[in-house]
């Protein structure tokens, strides 16, 4: 398993009686796509945050390649092991799509923007001039620019039309199976 949750529990620090995740055990293998399903408020985004090292479990641990991610540090885990697509995009709004993707890593932003269907005439615009679906695709391209082994995506197709959503899913499948 490349990424594992071992007895991971989480509660909001301000509400210790509100348990969000209760002793989760799950492992994720390379070359596969996983979907975490559940109703709104069930802890899906919280679980992704723990896997990404954005937060720490109250109990248990998250492991990468068999070692607790706290061993080398959460920042190190985020920098080298995981790449993220946030539900709210988290693009740098004063930068262009091209510049945002360049921040993600060393892979070619031209190839990545093309692969998610962002037309070349949009590459030089402010991301604020793009639709929500276009911004989401730029965020996906930025995440793909990384050399990280694991891609964590929080509702990566939530703001896309059906045809584009299937294109993005196909792209993510292709990447997962060709790691």
**149-173 residue pLDDT tens:** 999 999 888 877 898 888 888 888 8
Whole-number Å distance between alpha carbons of 21 and 44: 9
CATH number of this structure's domain 1-77, picked from the four choices 3.40.50.2000, 3.40.50.300, 3.40.30.10, 3.90.1200.10: 3.40.50.300
DSSP state of 149: S
Q: Do domains 1-77 and 81-179 have the same CATH topology?
A: yes
Q: What is the pLDDT of residue 24?
A: 96
Q: Which residue has the tokens 């071992």?
A: 6
Q: What is the pLDDT of residue 15?
A: 66
Q: Is-contact 78 53, C-beta < 8 A? A: yes
SS3 for 24-75 is EEEEECCCCCCCCCCCCCCCHHHHHHHHHCCCCCCEEEEEECCEEHHHHCHH
Q: Is-contact 147 176, C-beta < 8 A? A: no
Alpha-carbon separation of residue 48 from 11, 15, 95, 106, 134 (angstroms): 14, 20, 26, 24, 23
Q: What is the pLDDT of residue 47?
A: 96
From 100, 101, 39, 50, select the one nearest 77 (Cα to Cα): 50
Q: Which fold has domain 81-179?
A: Rossmann fold (3.40.50)
Q: Which residues pair with 19 in a beta bridge?
A: 11
Please report, for the chain, the start and end positions of each structural domain, with discontinuous segments joined by +.
Answer: 1-77, 81-179
Q: What is the pLDDT of residue 163?
A: 86
To the nearest 5 percent, what fractions of the chain are helix, strand and coil? 40, 20, 40
Low-confidence ranges of the chain (pLDDT < 50): none
- Bridging pattern class, strands 82-85 and 150-153: parallel
């Amino acid at each position: 398993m490349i990424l594992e949750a071992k007895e991971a529990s989480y509660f909001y620090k301000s509400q210790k009686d509100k348990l969000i995740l209760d002793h989760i055990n799950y492992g994720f293998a390379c070359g596969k796509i996983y979907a975490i399903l559940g109703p709104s408020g069930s802890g899906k985004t919280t679980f992704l945050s723990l896997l990404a090292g954005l937060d720490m479990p109250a109990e248990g641990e998250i492991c990468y390649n068999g070692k607790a991610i706290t061993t080398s540090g959460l920042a190190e885990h985020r920098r080298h092991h995981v790449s993220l697509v946030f539900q709210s995009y988290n693009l740098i709004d004063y930068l262009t799509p091209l510049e945002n993707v360049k921040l993600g890593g060393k892979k070619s932003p031209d190839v990545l923007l093309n692969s998610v269907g962002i037309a070349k005439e949009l590459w030089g615009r402010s991301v604020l001039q793009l639709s929500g679906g276009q911004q989401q695709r730029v965020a996906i391209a930025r995440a793909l620019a990384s050399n990280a082994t694991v891609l964590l995506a929080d509702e990566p197709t939530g703001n896309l039309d059906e045809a584009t959503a299937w294109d993005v899913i196909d792209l993510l499948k292709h990447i997962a199976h060709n790691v």
